[in-house]
Amino acid sequence: MDKLKNSPIKNEMGAVFIHVKDLKKSVDWYGRILGVEVDLKQVESPVYNMPINGTTGLTLDDHTFDKSFKHEPSPNPIVNFMVDDIDEAYEFIKENGVNIVREIERVGENFAWFNFSDPDGNVIMACTG
């Protein structure tokens, strides 16, 4: 595909949106999984921007103002979070009672991943490299 010249759309991601049913519950869950301290008193519908390292944000959205929205989680990963040690991450997820939906898969010596789901059934990937 030829590159579009002078496109007003930047080759840059602002945020990943994850659609949730219960915003406070999801903020608490993602905070625990990502090791981020959150003040649930500061969480107000319809969205919460989770503090994330890097330039791409993570926005949790409960669609409070969109009564026609129907939550339908994808059976495929919607985002991946980087890990240094796949086995340590897997054990952490397991110990926290999180539903693992795909066991660890390894490709070569340095690349591995597994999938788990959040409380709303959204599939998340933990991935090395």
CA distance 17 to 12: 15
Question: Which domains are seen in the chain, by residue range?
Answer: 14-65 (3.30.720), 75-129 (3.10.180.10)
User: Strand runs (DSSP E) across 9-129, as ranges?
Assistant: 15-19, 47-50, 57-61, 79-82, 99-107, 111-117, 123-127
pLDDT for res 3: 61
pLDDT tens, residue by residue, 14-56: 899 999 999 999 999 999 999 999 999 999 999 999 999 999 9
pLDDT for res 23: 97
Res. 1: pLDDT tops 60: no
For residue 2, name the pLDDT band (cuts at 50, 70, 90). Answer: low
